[in-house]
């Protein structure tokens, strides 16, 4: 089919337009979220993002980063960092929990001062769905004043939040459910051993495994991204990679936290889809586009819109992780941004 015939049949429709007429697209976020709590560490993270490209988000941390008594000054520093970041950067912020006297000041200072650039806001230690509704109401009010709709990322690290995980994920405005392993273990008053805060215990202890599965299931059921907890091994690439790989392949997590710059590349690499599957996905979607998104046969198998959605979301995750695409898939599916890192002059090579 020629390009003209394909266009006449509706085949030039982009996958995001052709495949989601009856529901919202699944959020496509970088597979790594890096937390930084001081001006120096935030600056270092932003410089690294300039080098590696937009394969991870930077979260400016008020909860653990702000010195006691200097919460307002810390929030203002975060505003300055967000406003000073380059245009392509995705940067968010974590505020204090709702039991802290400065949570609303954090929110209003950051959204009011840098709301036009803020990619998301993260809420820690929600006690349940009522807390998340309260935070969403405050965020929506502040975001409207700057003409934005800013998504909320919710940390599931209390008994109440885990109990309400499905209700929280279903709330409009929630974009991720993030597992807070350390606080979750601490909330069990010694019933879960400290070994469950590290590997392999964190993937084996029944209460932690239950929590991870519940959070991932709740998030995915409502079209929300599940985000995995940190790894405390700061400089061991092998441990970080293996934790991210297990989170992705065994528990269904599509995103993972980083707390040290050395963790970013192993997480991105472990979360990245297999290149052979990316090549297959590209072939299937190009053939589907040529067939005006009707059913096709590929390698002896039938494919239709259900498998098209699976492969399109896989390609979007691959794109967000900086993978190169075989042509013409890169250009036809992602336009001039077929390689999301191509514009990063002098960037470091990210391993495939």
pLDDT digits (tens, 9 = 90+) for 105-163: 999 999 999 999 999 999 999 999 999 999 999 999 999 999 999 999 999 999 999 99
Give the model's confidence band at 8: pLDDT under 50 very low, under 70 low, under 90 confident, else very high.
very low
* In a domain? residue 71: yes
Bigger pLDDT: 165 or 275?
165
**Alpha-carbon Rg for the chain in angstroms:** 21
Bigger pLDDT: 14 or 257?
257
Give the model's confidence band at 18: pLDDT under 50 very low, under 70 low, under 90 confident, else very high.
confident
Sequence-distant (6+) residues with CB within 8 A of 163 are 128
- 87/106 same-domain check: yes
3-state secondary structure of 209: helix
Give the model's confidence band at 9: pLDDT under 50 very low, under 70 low, under 90 confident, else very high.
very low
Give the model's confidence band at 327: pLDDT under 50 very low, under 70 low, under 90 confident, else very high.
confident
* In a domain? residue 345: no
200-214: pLDDT as tens digits: 999 999 999 999 999
Paired tokens of 24: 């919202």
- 263/182 same-domain check: yes
DSSP 8-state assignment for residue 94: E
pLDDT score, position 82 = 95
Decide: 263 and 235 in contact? Cβ < 8 Å. no
Distance CA(249)–CA(66), nearest Å, equals 35
Q: Which of 62, 43, 41, 45 is nearest to 54 (CA)?
A: 45
pLDDT score, position 322 = 85
- 194/333 same-domain check: no
Does a cis peptide bond (omega within 30 degrees of 0) precede residue 97? no
31-45: pLDDT as tens digits: 999 999 999 999 999
HSE, side-chain direction, 13 A CA sphere, residue 222? 21
- 45/17 same-domain check: no
* In a domain? residue 349: no
Q: Work out the mean pLDDT of the chain and round it to a whole number.
A: 89
Paired tokens of 21: 């007429």
* In a domain? residue 311: yes
Q: What is the pTM of this model?
A: 0.87
* In a domain? residue 203: yes
Distance CA(312)–CA(19), nearest Å, equals 9
- 202/118 same-domain check: yes
**What percent of the chain shows pLDDT beyond 90?**
75
- pLDDT above 50 for 349: no
- 113/128 same-domain check: yes
For residue 112, the surrounding DSSP H or E stretch is helix 103-114
Give the model's confidence band at 345: pLDDT under 50 very low, under 70 low, under 90 confident, else very high.
very low
- 130/165 same-domain check: yes
Last residue of a domain, one of 248, 271, 294: 271
- Of the candidate ranges 29-43, 233-247, 259-273, 314-328, the one whose mean pLDDT is the lowest: 314-328
pLDDT score, position 170 = 98
- 146/261 same-domain check: yes
pLDDT score, position 126 = 97
Which whole number is the average pLDDT over 8-17?
65
Last residue of a domain, one of 271, 293, 313: 271
Here the CATH number for the domain that contains residue 264 is 3.20.20.60
Decide: 169 and 224 in contact? Cβ < 8 Å. yes
* In a domain? residue 351: no
Residue with tokens 């392993």: 181
* In a domain? residue 98: yes
- Total domains in the fold of the chain: 2
- 180/92 same-domain check: yes
- 68/217 same-domain check: yes
Last residue of a domain, one of 271, 289, 309: 271
Q: Are strands 32-36 and 255-258 parallel, antiparallel or unpaired?
A: parallel
HSE, side-chain direction, 13 A CA sphere, residue 301? 9
Decide: 163 and 131 in contact? Cβ < 8 Å. no
pLDDT score, position 22 = 62
pLDDT score, position 238 = 96
What are phi and psi for residue 57, nearest 5 degrees? -90, 155
- 16/130 same-domain check: no
pLDDT score, position 219 = 98
What are phi and psi for residue 258, nearest 5 degrees? -125, 140
What domain range includes position 303? 3-21+274-337
- 327/267 same-domain check: no
Distance CA(84)–CA(337), nearest Å, equals 24
Paired tokens of 215: 């959070």
* In a domain? residue 67: yes
């Amino acid at each position: 089919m020629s390009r003209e015939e394909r266009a006449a049949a509706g085949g030039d429709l982009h996958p995001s337009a052709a495949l989601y007429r009856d529901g919202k697209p699944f959020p496509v976020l970088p597979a790594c979220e890096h937390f930084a709590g001081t001006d120096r560490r935030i600056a270092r993270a932003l410089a690294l993002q300039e080098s590696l490209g937009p394969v991870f988000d930077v979260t400016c941390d008020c909860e653990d980063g702000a010195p006691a008594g200097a919460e307002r000054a810390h929030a203002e520093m975060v505003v300055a960092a967000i406003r000073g970041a380059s245009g392509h950067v995705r940067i968010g912020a974590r505020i204090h929990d709702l039991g802290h006297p400065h949570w609303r000041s954090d929110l209003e200072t950051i959204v009011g001062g840098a709301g036009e650039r803020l990619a998301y806001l993260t809420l820690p230690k929600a006690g349940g769905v009522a807390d998340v509704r309260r935070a969403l109401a405050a965020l929506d009010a502040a975001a409207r004043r700057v003409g934005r709709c800013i998504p909320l990322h919710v940390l599931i690290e209390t008994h109440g939040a885990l109990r309400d995980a499905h209700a929280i994920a279903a709330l409009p405005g929630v974009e991720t459910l993030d597992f807070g392993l350390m606080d979750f273990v601490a909330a069990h008053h010694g019933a879960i051993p400290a070994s469950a805060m590290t590997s392999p215990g964190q993937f084996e202890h029944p209460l932690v495994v239950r929590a991870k599965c519940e959070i991932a299931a709740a998030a995915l059921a409502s079209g929300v991204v599940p985000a995995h907890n940190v790894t405390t091994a700061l400089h061991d690439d092998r441990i970080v990679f293996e934790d991210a790989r297990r989170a992705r392949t065994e528990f269904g997590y599509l995103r993972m936290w980083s707390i040290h710059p050395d963790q970013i590349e192993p997480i991105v690499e472990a979360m990245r889809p297999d290149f052979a599957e990316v090549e297959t996905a590209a072939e299937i979607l190009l053939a589907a586009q040529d067939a005006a998104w009707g059913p096709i046969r590929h390698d002896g198998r039938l494919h239709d819109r259900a498998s098209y959605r699976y492969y399109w979301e896989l390609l979007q995750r691959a794109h967000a992780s900086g993978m190169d695409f075989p042509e013409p898939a890169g250009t036809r599916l992602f336009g001039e941004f077929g390689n999301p890192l191509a514009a990063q002059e002098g960037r470091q090579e990210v391993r495939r």
